[in-house]
Structure 1
Amino acid sequence: MSFSARSRAVLASLGTLGLALAATVSPASAADATPITPTQLFNGDQSCSTDSDRPTYVWAGNGLTVEGIPGTTDTTSNSTVSVQYQVWPVTDPTHTTTVIRANALSGFEAAANLPADALPDGQTYAWRVQTVAEGAASDWSAPCYVAIDNTPPVNAPGVASSNYPQGARNQGGSPVEFTLNANGDDDVTGFEYSWQQVLPIAGYANIGEHGVPQFVDPYADPRYFTRADAPGGSATISLFPPNGSSGLMTLWVRSLDRAYNGSAVTSYSFLLNSTAPTATPAVASPEFDRPTTFTLRPNADLQSTSSVVGYSVEMVGGQGGDKTIDVTAGPDGTASVKLTLDGIDGESLRVSSRSANGWVSDAAFWGITYDTTPTVASDVYPENASGGGAGVPGAFTFAPKVKNVASYTYSVNGDPEATIAAGAHHTAIVDWTPAAGGDYDLTVYATTRSGIQLAPYYYSFTVN
C-alpha cells in the first residue's frame, strides 16, 4: 500500500459530496455569477505539476483524490457550484474520463476521486478542472501530470554500520554511522528508519484554511527519513540511539519509492554497554529534609570518547512532585549538586549525562527510604493489646523519627482531627479518656517546621 494514502473527513462547510461519472454537466445554482477557473490544484495532497516531463508520482490503488478551489465573480455570497474534472493518459488524449463534484462551495477545495480503473499502474496521466455554474463553464485549468505507482520496492534495503557491527557489543558514546542501500532496486529514491518498529507515515498532509492541503515532505525530517544519492542508490546517516538506552538496540529501515510506497523492513541490531554516570552523596544516608551534596561522575569509557558537559538529575518522590535539574559539568566531566530529599516515604534520583557530541547516557539510579511516621506509646492503652476501661484516663506519647517536627495531628476512630504542638525534644503527650469499652484506632501524623505533613501512623488498641 502507499504510505501517502489517507482518509480525510470533508469539512462540513464544503457541503455534501456528490460525485458521478458523467459526460455532461448538471451545474448547481450561482445566480449572476461568472465561473472562474479553479486554483490551488492538488493530487494526492501534493501540488499539481504542470511539467509533463516531471509528473508527481502518486499511489492510486483506491483512486486518486484531486482537488481545486472553484470560484465565481460573485464574491458576496457563499454560492455552490459544480466542478468538473477530466483525466486522460498522456499517450492517448482522446481517452478521457470525466468526474463531477456537485454542490461544491465557492472558495473552498472541492475534492473528487478519479477512479482507480481509469488509472492503471505504471502510466502517466494528465488531468484538468473547470468551474460550472448556471449553465456556464470557466476555462479549463492547465493540465496537471501524475505518474501512477502502486507497486512498492521489491527488495528490502541493505543496512550496514562502520562503527557498530551487527550483533556485536559496543561501548557507545559515538553516533552510529549507518549506510543504507537500495539492494539492487532502481525504484528506490529514499529510506525511512526508526528505533521503534512502527515506522512513521511518509507523505501526509495537514489541512489549512479553505481546505488547502499542506503536504509534509518526509525528507525534511532527518530523524526518520533520508534521500538516496541516486535512484537505486544509497545514503549514509549518523544517528544516536534513543536517550537513556543500553542493551539491545535495533534500527528498523525500509526503502521508499517516488510515490512513498514502502518496501519490506530490514532490522539491524547491536548491543550497547551502559554509559550511565555515578551519583554519590557526601554521607551514606542523607537526613530527611536536610541539604546533601551529591558528586556526579561520568562513565570512564564515555568520557574518553566525548567529554561529558552536563547532567540531568530527575528527583522522584519529593514534595511538590517530580522535578528535573540540569547540572553543568567541569572540565573533567564531574559535577556536584546540593539536593534536599524530602519525600515522606523516601526519594530516588535518575541521573543521566550529556556529552559534547550530543550523546545522552542511560540513567544511574540512587534512592533512599525514610520512615517519617511518629512513634506512639501508652502505658494504659498499649498497642495491639487491651487495657484501662471506660472512664479510665490514659496518656499517649508522640515522638518523632526525623528532625524539626513542630506538631502532631491525631484522630480517634475517625473523629475530627486535633493538633497539638511539639514540646521538648519535639515530643507531645495527649491525655485521653474513653467513654466506653471496645476496639479503637488512633491515627497520628507529624508536621515539620517547614510545613511538610509526614506519613501517618495507625495505632490500634482495646479498651476493657
Structure 2
Amino acid sequence: MSFGARPRAVLASLGTLGLVLTGAASPASAADGTPTTPTQLFNEYRHCSTDADRPSYRWARDGLVVEGIPGVTDPTGNPLVSVRYQAWPVTDPTRITTVSRDRVPLGFEAPATLPATALADGQSYAWQAQTVVGDAASDWSAPCYVTIDNTRPANAPTVTSPNYPPDVWNKGGEPVEFTLSAGGVDDVEGFEFAWQPDLPVIGTSIGAYGIPQPVDPYSDAKYFKRADALGGSATLSLVPPAGSGPKTLWVRSLDRAYNGSAITSYTFRVSSAMPTVTPAVPKPEFGEPTGFTLRPDPELHAKSPVVSYSVRTLSGQDDRTFEVAAEEDGTAVMELAMDGIYGVNLQVTSKSANGWISDAAWWGISYDTTPTVVSDAYPENGSGDGVGVPGTFTFTPKVNDVESYTYTFNNGDPEVTVPADADHTASIDWTPASAGWYDLTVYATTRSGIQLAPYDYYFTVN
C-alpha cells in the first residue's frame, strides 16, 4: 500500500470479521447472561483516546474503522452477539451516526466502519460502543475522541547538514549531522528518513482475536524521529552506507495522522579512504600460510579509532567473510592459506568505533598450478610417430607437495590417477590406437587434497 494513499497498513486479515453490517441486533437467544460494555477499543487500528484534549488523529477518507470486543456475563455455549457504535461531532452531540456489527463471537474484535460521508476533514468526533443481546444492551463505553485528518503536509521538509555540505567532496570518518525542518507546515509531528527512496510503510499488525497491535513509529530510531515541537524540527546523527561516492538521505514529514508529505532528498559526496593490506612476503607461495598486516586510513583512525576489519576471501578453497580485531593503534595481523588454484583475492574494510565502514581495499595474487607436460615422441601442438608407437609423457609440478596426477585422453576416456615420485613428478607410457588429433588433460592433487588447475596438452598422431 502506498504511503501517500493512506498512512497505515493492516498486516493481518480479519477474515469474515471484516464485514460491516448496520442496524440489526442479535436475537435474544444468542446468549444467556447480561451484556457488558465492550473492551479493547480501537479506531483505524490505533488505540482510542479517552482524553478530549488529546484526540487520536486518523485518516478516514474511506471511512473510519471502529472496533471493540463485546462482553456477556455467564455466557452459555458459543453465543453470537452484536456491537453497536455511535459517533457525533464534538461540537454538535445531536448529530449521531450509528453503525452495528452483528453475529460476533465473544472474545473477538467486532469492527464496523463509520462512513466517510459522516466525517469531515479537520473535525473532531467522539464515539462509543455497547454490546447488544436481543433487546438487552450494555452501558455505553467511555467516549473515544478522534480528529479526522485527510490532508497530508503541504510542503516537503527541508534538510541541511553542517558537516557534510552538498557541493564538495567530504572526508568521511564521522557521522553526518542533519537538521530536518517542517517546511513551514504547523501540524508536522515528525519525520521519516532512509538511505533509499522507498521509505517504510507504517503498519499495524493484527494479533490474536483480531486485536490490533499498534506501535509508535517514533520508537524505531532507524527510520523515524519526532520533531522537537509540533511544526518544529529534528536533528539526526547518521553513519551513511559503507564506501565512498555520492550518498543520499530521503526524508518526508509526517503529521499526527501519519500522512506523509512529498519526499525530499539531500545528496553529499564522500571521498575514498581505505585500509592497506600488506603481506609478510612480497609474493606468497601457493599453499603456504601467509601473514598479513592491516593498517587503517590515518584520517579515519584519527576521527574515530578503527576497532576491527571485515575480511572477505575470494577464489580460495573455502571462501568466507570474517572479522579481525584491531590493536589500539588500529592495526591488525592475520594469517591466511594461499590455496586458490588460480589465485587469491582479499577484500578488506575497516570499522571505526563510531560505526563508520571504510571503502574496501583489494589485494590479490595469481597462481599457475597447472602441471608441465613433456613428450619427445608426441610434441605439444605438433605431430609425431604413429599408430602403435608408444610415447612417454612426463608431468612436472609448478607448486609444492604434489602427491598424484590424474589424466585422460580426449576427455571422453576414463580418468587415470598415478602417484607422484619423490621429486613430485610422474611419467606415463601411452600407445595410440588410431591416427588423428588428441587432447591430453592433466591435473595434480596435493597431499592436503587440493585438486589443482588442469592443463590441456594437444598433439597429432601420424
Of 310-319 and 182-191, the range deviating more from structure 2: 310-319
CA contact (8 A) 1:346 1:367 kept: yes
2:68 aligns with 68
Give the counterpart letter for 1:56 in structure 2.
Answer: S
What's the counterpart of residue 192 of structure 1?
Answer: 192
Q: In structure 2, the residue corresponding to 1:94 is in which secondary structure? A: coil
- Corresponding residue number in structure 2 for 1:119: 119
Amino acid at match of 1:18: L
Identity of aligned residues (%): 63
What is the CA–CA distance in structure 1 between the aligned matches of 2:140 and 2:88, rounded to whole Å?
14
Q: Per the alignment, do residues 405 and 72 of structure 1 end up closer, same or farther by CA in structure 2, a change over 3 Å counting?
A: farther
Please give the alpha-carbon distance, in whole angstroms, between the structure 2 residues aligned to 1:317 and 1:461.
Answer: 31
- 1:279, CA displacement in angstroms? 0.8
Instruction: Determine whether 1:216 maps to 2:218.
Output: no
Query: Which among 246, 259, 274 is matched to residue 261 of structure 1?
Result: 259
Q: Distance in 2 between matches of 1:28 and 1:436?
A: 101
- Structure 1 unpaired stretches of 5+: none
Instruction: For 1:435 and 1:72, locate their aligned partners in 2 and report how far apart those are by CA, in whole Å.
Output: 97
Deviation readout 1:16-42 (Å, 9 max, x if unpaired): 64323x334356974546544332222
What per-residue deviation string (whole Å, max 9, x for no partner) do you get for residues 276-309 of structure 1?
A: 1111112222222211121211112222222222
Query: How do 1:38-49 and structure 2 match up within 5 A?
Result: 38-49=38-49
Aligned residue in 2 for 1:291 = 289
- Comparing 396-405 and 247-256, the one that deviates more: 396-405
Letter matched to residue 329 of structure 1 = A
Matched residues in 2 for 1:435 and 1:105: separation? 87
Which of 339, 353, 357 lines up with 2:354 in the alignment? 357
| Aligned counterpart for 2:13 among listed residues 10, 15, 22 | 10
Task: Give the residue type in structure 1 aligned to 2:231.
Answer: G
Structure 2 partner of 1:320: 318
Is 1:405 the counterpart of 2:406? The answer is no
Q: What is the 5 A alignment of 1:136-155? A: 136-155=136-155
The whole-number CA distance in structure 1 between the counterparts of 2:178 and 2:113 is: 41
Structure 1 residues 430, 159: CA separation in 2 closer, same or farther (over 3 Å shift)?
same
2:281 counterpart SS class: coil
SS across alignment from 2:9: coil
Farther-moved stretch of structure 1 (94-103 vs 280-289): 94-103
Distance 1:457-1:3 versus aligned 2 partners, 3 A rule: farther
Q: Is the 8 A contact 1:33 1:133 kept in 2?
A: no
- Give the one of 369, 392, 398 matched to 1:372: 369
Q: Distance in 1 between matches of 2:75 and 2:193?
A: 48
Point out the more displaced range, 251-260 or 302-311: 302-311
Match runs of 1:201-280 below 5 Å: 201=201, 203-242=202-241, 244-280=242-278
Question: Secondary structure of 1:179's match?
Answer: strand
Amino acid at match of 1:147: T
The alignment partner of 2:218 has SS state of: helix
Partner Cα distance (2:440, 2:28) in 1: 81
Residues 134/382 of structure 1: CA separation in 2 closer, same or farther (3 Å cut): farther
* Counterpart for residue 427 of structure 2: 429
> 1:368-411 CA distances to partner (integer Å, 9 max, x unpaired)?
22222323333334444444444333333222222222222233
Indicate how the Cα distance of structure 1 residues 457 and 182 shifts in structure 2: closer, same or farther if over 3 A, else same: same
The range that moved more, 299-308 or 142-151, is: 299-308
Following superposition of structure 1 onto structure 2, how do residues 98-113 of structure 1 map, counting pairs within 5 Å? 98-113=98-113
Counterpart of 2:7 in structure 1: which amino acid? S
CA contact (8 A) 2:442 2:456 kept: yes
* Greater shift in the superposed pair: 122-131 or 44-53: 122-131
8 Å Cα contact 1:406-1:448 kept in structure 2: yes
Query: Would you say the 8 A contact 2:32–2:75 is kept in 1?
Result: no
Rounded to whole Å, the distance in 2 between the matches of 1:450 and 1:164 is 52
Indicate if the aligned counterparts of 1:27 and 1:102 stay in contact, CA closer than 8 A: no
Q: Secondary structure at the match of 1:110?
A: coil
Corresponding residue for 1:181?
181
Question: Which deviates the most, 371-380 or 119-128?
Answer: 371-380
Mean Cα deviation higher: 183-192 or 375-384: 375-384
In the alignment, the residues of structure 2 paired with residue 329 and residue 156 of structure 1 have an alpha-carbon distance, to the nearest angstrom, of: 43
- The code of the aligned residue for 1:289 comes to G
Contact 2:81/2:104 (8 A) holds in 1 = yes
AA in 2 matched with 1:394: G
| Whole-angstrom distance in 1 between the partners of 2:392 and 2:77 | 86
The corresponding residue for 1:93 is 93
Unaligned 5+ runs, structure 2? none
Change (3 A) 1:227 1:455: same
Q: 1:66 to 1:362 in 2, by over 3 A?
A: farther
Does the 8 Å CA contact 2:308/2:324 hold for their aligned counterparts?
yes
Whole-Å separation in 2 of the counterparts to 1:125 and 1:190: 24
Residue 340 of structure 2 aligns with which residue?
A: 343
The answer to whether the 8 Å contact 1:45/1:204 transfers is no
CA contact under 8 A between 1:2 and 1:150: conserved in structure 2?
no
Provide closer, same or farther for how the CA distance between residues 18 and 235 of structure 1 changes in structure 2, counting only shifts above 3 A: closer
Amino acid at match of 2:348: V
Within 2, Cα distance between the matches of 1:106 and 1:309?
57
SS in structure 2 of the partner of residue 19 of structure 1: coil
Aligned residue in 1 for 2:168 = 168
Distance 1:136 1:395, change over 3 A: farther
Whether the 8 Å CA contact 1:2–1:260 is kept in 2: the answer is no
CA contact (8 A) 1:309 1:329 kept: yes
Pair 1:11–1:152, CA change in 2 (3 A)? closer
Distance in 1, Cα, partners of 2:75 & 2:461: 89
After superposition, the Cα gap between the structure-2 partners of 1:238 and 1:420, relative to the gap in structure 1 and judged at 3 Å, is same
Greater shift after overlay, 445-454 or 110-119? 110-119
Farther off after superposition, 448-457 or 95-104: 95-104
